[in-house]
């Protein structure tokens, strides 16, 4: 059985990795571990995740009330509590501000398309929530429906939140979210983003089942056409975060064609 001391050291290690990977800056982000039904170990408010010490962490009850620790709970603890209340299988939650993934929401672009094989069979698709004022009671509300079916969610203009079987699992998922955003951005800059075919997606989900990866990896339709389903906005997710900007895609495609013509490539 993992001791509280080990949990503290694990959170500090994950915080340092998030800081070094640019998934958080300044005092942004927060990390928690559910040690028991009524006990959470969490990062406090106002501390850099890259420079924490084990004794900086606090213990709260299942309502977010501090039980022990010198510092104060983060106002974002409510987001973590909402996830634990919805998902008995989740033992850790990580919230960070990955810059490229966040930029996608500001541009009104979705990362819910089935594009990268490793993302499909580990995370499924990555939906985006409606906008909620940071630290407000709106935050837990906009993830309510999505977190039931996804381990990784992008918060409109406010980073991403991931759920895992332990703190390292949750960390790897937020790292995967940002990697997906970086690859998708590069693909958009190079040309048109190609989605996986329905057969390829089915095979990937079969692989996931065979590997018994656990967690949630639901495919949320984002109107990319790969699964053959019509676009249906998800409850709890914004249209700009879930549905690709098809008009913009058409403009980008036309511009690229004209550039290629000018260069004598078509």
Tell me the β-bridge partners of 94: 31, 162
Give yes or no: 178 in active site. no
Say which of 20, 55, 70, 76 is annotated catalytic: 76
Q: How many CB atoms lie within 10 A of CB 186?
A: 11
Tell me the β-bridge partners of 34: 40
Q: What is the 3-state secondary structure (H, E, C) of the chain?
A: CCCHHHHHHHHHHHHHHHHHCCCCCCCCCEEEEEEECCEEEECECCCCCCCCCHHHCEEECCCCCEEECCCCECCCHHHHHHHHHHCCCCCEEEEECCHHHHHHHHCCCCECCCCCHHHHHHHCCECEECCCCCCCCHHHHHHCCHHHCECEEECCCCCEEEEECCHHHHHHHHHHHHHHHHHHHHHHHHCCCCCCCHHHHHHHHHHHHHHCCCCCECCCCCCCCCCCCCCCCCCCECHHHHCCCHHHHHHHHHHHHHHHHHCCCC
- Annotated catalytic residues are 76
């Amino acid at each position: 059985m993992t001791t509280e001391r080990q949990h503290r050291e694990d959170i500090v290690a994950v915080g340092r990795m998030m800081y070094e990977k640019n998934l958080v800056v300044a005092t942004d982000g927060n990390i928690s571990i559910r040690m028991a039904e009524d006990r959470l170990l969490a990062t406090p408010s106002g501390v850099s995740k890259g420079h924490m010490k084990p004794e900086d962490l606090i213990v709260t009850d299942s309502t977010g009330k501090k039980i022990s620790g010198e510092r104060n709970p983060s106002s974002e603890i409510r987001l973590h509590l909402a996830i634990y209340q919805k998902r008995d299988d989740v033992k850790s939650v990580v919230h960070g501000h990955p810059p490229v993934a966040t930029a996608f929401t500001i541009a009104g672009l979705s990362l819910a398309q089935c594009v990268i094989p490793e993302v499909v069979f580990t995370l499924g698709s990555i939906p985006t929530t409606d906008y909620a004022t940071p630290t407000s009671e709106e935050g837990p509300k906009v993830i309510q429906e999505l977190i039931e079916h996804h381990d990784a969610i992008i918060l409109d203009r406010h980073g991403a939140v991931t759920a895992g079987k332990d703190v390292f699992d949750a960390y790897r998922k937020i790292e995967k979210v940002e990697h997906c955003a970086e690859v998708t951005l590069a693909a958009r800059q190079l040309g048109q983003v190609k989605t996986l075919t329905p057969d390829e997606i089915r095979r990937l989900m079969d692989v996931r089942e065979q590997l018994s990866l656990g967690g949630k990896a639901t495919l949320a339709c984002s109107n990319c056409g790969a699964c053959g389903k019509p676009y249906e906005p998800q409850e709890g997710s914004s249209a700009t975060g879930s549905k690709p900007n098809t008009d913009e895609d058409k403009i980008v495609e036309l511009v690229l064609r004209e550039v290629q013509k000018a260069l004598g490539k078509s």
